[in-house]
C-alpha cells in the first residue's frame, strides 16, 4: 500500500516536471531554443526541470523493482510459514489435548474437594477479605455480634 502511494506520487511529480519542461520550452524564443538544442547555451530552469523529471523517473523505477522483490519475498515467506505450521501442528495438537485433560482433571478434583467440604460442614461464606466467616465479640461481650457490612460498603471509601 505504502509503496503504491509513493509510486503514484513519483509518477505525478515526474508528470508535473515534464509539464514544466513543455511550458518552459513553449515560452522560449527560437534563438533560445536553437542555442539550447545545440548546447551552446543551456537554459538553467529547463535543465532543472529535466533533471527533476529524470530523478523522479529513476526513483519510481527503483521503487517498482523493490516492490517486485518484496512481493516475491512475501510469497516465499508465506510458503515457509505454512510449512513451519504444518510441521508443528501435530505437536501443538498433542500439547493442547494434554492441557485439556489436565484442566478436566483439575475441575474434577475441585468438584470432589467442594463436595467433601460440604459433607463435613466446612462450607465457607463466599466473600472477600481476611475476616471471611469470622465472628468477633462486640464491646459488651456479645458473641453474636456480626461484622456484616452493608452490600454497598467499601473499606477504602467508607460507603
How many whole angstroms separate alpha carbon 11 and alpha carbon 67?
Answer: 15
Residue 159 belongs to some domain of the structure: no
What is the reported pLDDT for 80? 94
| Phi-psi domain of 121 (left: phi exceeds 0; alpha: psi -120 through 50; beta: other) | left
Average pLDDT over residues 64-93: 92
Give the residue numbers spanning the domain of 53: 2-120
Residue 61 belongs to some domain of the structure: yes
Q: DSSP code of 40?
A: S
Average pLDDT over residues 140-154: 55
Residue 67 contacts residue 59 (beta carbons within 8 Å): no
Q: At what angle do helices 44-120 and 2-27 cross, to 10 degrees?
A: 170
Q: What percentage of the chain carries pLDDT values higher than 70?
A: 75
Q: How does pLDDT run across 94-129, given as a tens digit for each residue?
A: 999 999 999 999 999 999 998 888 888 765 555 555
Residue 19 belongs to some domain of the structure: yes
Residue 146 belongs to some domain of the structure: no
Which one is predicted more confidently, 70 or 155? 70
Residue 130 belongs to some domain of the structure: no
Sign of CA dihedral 53, 59, 60, 61: positive
Q: Which strand (E) or helix (H) includes residue 27?
A: helix 2-27
Residue 89 belongs to some domain of the structure: yes
Residue 44 belongs to some domain of the structure: yes
Average pLDDT over residues 22-37: 92
How many whole angstroms separate alpha carbon 124 and alpha carbon 151?
Answer: 18
Tally of domains in the chain:
1
SS3 144: coil
The whole-chain average pLDDT of the chain stands at 82
pLDDT at 10 over 70: yes
pLDDT at 33 over 60: yes
Instruction: Enter the pTM of the model.
Output: 0.45
Residue 141 belongs to some domain of the structure: no
Amino acid at each position: 500500500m505504502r509503496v503504491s502511494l509513493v509510486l503514484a506520487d513519483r509518477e505525478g511529480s515526474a508528470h508535473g516536471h515534464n509539464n514544466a519542461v513543455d511550458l518552459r520550452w513553449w515560452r522560449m524564443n527560437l534563438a533560445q531554443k536553437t542555442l539550447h538544442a545545440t548546447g551552446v547555451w543551456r537554459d538553467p530552469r529547463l535543465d532543472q526541470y529535466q533533471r527533476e523529471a529524470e530523478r523522479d523517473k529513476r526513483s519510481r523505477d527503483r521503487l517498482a523493482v523493490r516492490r517486485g522483490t518484496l512481493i516475491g519475498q512475501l510469497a516465499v515467506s508465506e510458503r515457509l510459514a505454512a510449512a513451519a505450521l504444518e510441521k508443528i501442528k501435530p505437536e501443538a495438537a498433542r500439547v493442547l489435548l494434554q492441557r485439556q485433560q489436565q484442566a478436566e482433571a483439575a475441575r474434577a478434583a475441585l468438584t470432589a474437594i467442594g463436595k467433601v467440604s460440604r459433607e463435613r460442614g466446612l462450607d465457607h461464606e463466599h466473600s472477600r477479605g481476611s475476616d471471611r466467616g469470622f465472628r468477633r465479640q462486640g464491646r459488651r461481650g456479645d458473641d453474636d455480634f456480626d461484622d456484616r457490612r452493608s452490600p454497598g460498603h467499601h473499606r477504602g471509601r467508607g460507603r
